Amino acid sequence: MRVLLTTNEYPPHVYGGAGVHVEYLSRELAKLTPVEVRSFHDQTVDDGQLHVRGIKMDTTHFAGCPQSFVSPLKALSTCLSFVGQGIDDDLGGHAEIIHCHTWYAHFSGILAKILYNIPLVITVHSLEPLRPWKRDQLGRGYDLSCWIEKTALEMADAVIAVSRSTRDDILRLFDVEPNRVVMIPNGIDIDEYHPVDEPETLAQFGIDPDRPYVLFVGRITRQKGLYYLLQAIPHLDPKLQVVLCAGDADTLAMQRETEEIVQELQARRSGIIWISKMLPRQTTIVLYSHATIFCCPSIYEPFGIINLEAMACGTPVVGSAVGGIKEVVVDGETGLLVDPHLADEPPHDPVSPARFERGLANAINRLANDPELLERMSQAGRERVEQHYSWQSVAQQTYDLYRRLRAR
């Protein structure tokens, strides 16, 4: 059975959890069946049964439209190219399943299902109706991304939700039959993500290896909740450093606001380190491994693969009690969860930001000052990841789904 995966992100062009997911899923699936990946970048990879073909679309022909429309129009144009080149691979095989990741790639699935009459599978990594702040980034292009997502999900033969909460959201927001929505979580490579001891790497970024630190890894977007962690910093134990691996801001205004807040905090407190560039994976693993606590303050998180990465490296998590985080992090065992008490109406910001910020600070301080609890959570987090989140299991469940669809 030949499988075609379509995606915006694929290594080395990865900026979020969806790209990480496609990388590892495609690698494991290729051990079971031939897989071709088509991505939004100029790349070619041939590794056994895994073949990657990228298309980097020229956007100069979008020069006449508002800048906010370029991203969704580029997505549609790239998807047209994906399907326009046919669904046969370089070896003459014909794709029997198309599996799309994020709304950027969904249009390719719509076209392939209609034109080639093959089953369409979609993995939901996030949902556009639950990210209304994207209108600040895309303008009316956000209406287009919402339409693409809704159309694709409602015509898909199977929809994979990465968490139970995401499955609930899909059924609540879209006209999709429950028997077509299955839950298959994200995974983690436990051989790659494990505790390492490289204090010299910390010094390269100005981190004191002899002083505990809290780590944040994520994009600068409202979804990831970085703003609330920044506001919590003045309430943290002074002994703690704060390391922010934060980049790829949604908007220039958000980038500037973050810069101003961080600079003000740095002027008032030592040990605040901001790493704004994308780091190699091995470097990030070092940062996870040496961190005392990993903080995930997201206000929307369908799964939160970064929490798996931290736990695999033996680092307890302080996170928001939202979405998939509640399913990955066991409160009181592998970390502490803080309820942000989100508003009922979009954009679902915390009802009391100050309460959430203080809650984050209190949870971080509690762990930082309890070495025995830190050690227990470190061991429990690693054990949980090993037992429940292997990519081999994720790939097998996905492959079994393909087989069921093909047999219909």
Domain-by-domain residue ranges, the chain?
3-187+390-406, 199-388
Report which of residues 92 and 235 the model is more confident about. 235
- Residue 90's pLDDT band (boundaries 50, 70, 90)? low
Structure tokens at 46: 């041939």
pLDDT in tens, 135-157: 988 999 999 999 999 999 999 99
- Residue 278: what pLDDT? 87
Q: Residue 370 — left, alpha, or beta (φ > 0 → left; ψ -120 to 50 → alpha)?
A: beta
Secondary structure (DSSP) of 131-178: -GGGHHHHTTHHHHHHHHHHHHHHH-SEEEESSHHHHHHHHHHS---G
The proportion of the chain whose per-residue pLDDT surpasses 90, expressed as a percent, equals 90
Does 239 score more than 90 pLDDT?
yes
In this structure, what are the phi and psi dihedrals at residue 123, rounded to the nearest 5 degrees? -95, 125
Report which of residues 122 and 277 the model is more confident about. 122
- Residue 91: what pLDDT? 60
- Residue 15's pLDDT band (boundaries 50, 70, 90)? confident
Does 293 score more than 80 pLDDT?
yes
Report which of residues 103 and 61 the model is more confident about. 103
- Residue 232's pLDDT band (boundaries 50, 70, 90)? very high
The proportion of the chain whose per-residue pLDDT surpasses 70, expressed as a percent, equals 99
Does 380 score more than 80 pLDDT?
yes
Position 238, amino acid: P
Q: Is the CB of residue 368 less than 8 Å from the CB of residue 292?
A: yes
Arithmetic mean of pLDDT, 280-294: 97
- Residue 408's pLDDT band (boundaries 50, 70, 90)? confident
Residue 256 buriedness (CB in 10 A; 0-12 / 13-18 / 19+): exposed
Position 401, amino acid: L
- Residue 279: what pLDDT? 93
- Residue 346's pLDDT band (boundaries 50, 70, 90)? confident
**CA 319 – CA 381 distance, rounded (Å):** 13
- Residue 345: what pLDDT? 85
Q: Do domains 3-187+390-406 and 199-388 have the same CATH topology?
A: yes
Residue 247 carries which DSSP code?
E
Q: Is the CB of residue 18 less than 8 Å from the CB of residue 102?
A: yes
Arithmetic mean of pLDDT, 128-132: 94
Arithmetic mean of pLDDT, 46-62: 93
Q: Is the CB of residue 308 less than 8 Å from the CB of residue 331?
A: no
- 199-388 CATH pick, 3.40.50.2000, 3.40.50.20, 3.90.420.10, 3.50.50.60: 3.40.50.2000
Q: Which CATH architecture has domain 3-187+390-406?
A: 3-Layer(aba) Sandwich (3.40)
- Tell me what the pLDDT averaged over the chain comes to: 95
- Residue 88's pLDDT band (boundaries 50, 70, 90)? confident
Arithmetic mean of pLDDT, 16-35: 96
Does 93 score more than 80 pLDDT?
no
Considering the entire predicted model, what is its pTM? 0.91
